[in-house]
Amino acid sequence: MEFLAPPWYNPSSMFTGIINELGRVDSLIRFKDRVVLTVSVKFSSELKAGDSVSVNGVCLTVTEALRSSFKADVVSETLSRSSLQYLKSGEFVNLERAVPADGRLEGHIVQGHVDCKSMITNIVSTGSSREIEIRVPEGYRRYVAAKGSVAVDGISLTVASVNDRYFKVVIVPHTALKTNLFHKKIGDRVNLEFDIIAKYVEKLVENRGFGGVVSMKDIRIDTEFLKKAGFLN
């Protein structure tokens, strides 16, 4: 699927959830207000200071590009909101470079702005695949839909099933081997970013006079709806 960049698009802050490489944490130097993270990666020679890299789904800015690794600052707000606060030296992390404006959108639109962190509650091996169950944090259930998209540690995944407390994703062998999900176990923390389109639709409904809508299933897509949403004059 070709991505046609709109005028407001900033290529330094968009990803697709397709992991480029599995990196390894070289070191974490902790300061009072931040952590300096060093990650080894093969594509480090292609990076420069100021580039954006998604690390386990978190958009970080490269502060220094070395021959076989890069450095990035992780501020306290990012640490508190994401699972990066639990990182340890030697741990594997999912890495994705920001997609260029003329690149391919092969996963779904991922901003690298983590909504919350959650926990893996169950893992079931089914033949060559793995079914992973993840807790849905309170207040985020409305963004999760069966067959919809969610970014788990920066990986674009399809929701296989969902209820009020959990959602499940099925991991094919290729994804397991190319990402840190191969190393995950029950109880591990993961970063979640929900579909930006769902968030925009929710805000659109709030701001366009649909206050009586109880849930998205109550919306009737007709001429009146499109006028209120600004699609028709």
- Interacting residues of 3 by C-beta distance below 8 A, sequence separation 6+: 99, 101, 102, 103, 104, 105
**Strand residue runs (E) in 163-232:** 166-171, 189-194
In contact, 93 and 25? CB cutoff 8 Å? yes
Sign of the four-CA dihedral 21, 23, 29, 32: positive
CATH, domain 11-97, list 3.30.565.10, 2.40.50.140, 2.30.30.90, 2.40.30.20: 2.40.30.20
Q: Which residue has the higher pLDDT, 101 or 118?
A: 118
For the chain, domain boundaries: 11-97, 116-197, 198-228
Tens digit of each residue's pLDDT (9 = 90 or more) over 42-51: 999 999 999 9
**Residue 6 pLDDT more than 50?**
no
In contact, 80 and 116? CB cutoff 8 Å? no
Q: Which helix (H) or strand (E) holds 226?
A: helix 223-228
pLDDT, averaged across the chain: 86
Tens digit of each residue's pLDDT (9 = 90 or more) over 146-179: 999 999 999 999 999 999 899 999 999 999 889 9
User: In the predicted model, what is the mean pLDDT of residues 64-70?
Assistant: 95
The domain at 116-197 falls in which architecture? Beta Barrel (2.40)
Q: Indicate if 116-197 has the same CATH topology as 11-97.
A: yes
The per-residue pLDDT for 5 is 43
Check residue 78 and report its DSSP letter. Answer: H
Q: How confident is the model at residue 38 (pLDDT cuts 50, 70, 90)?
A: very high
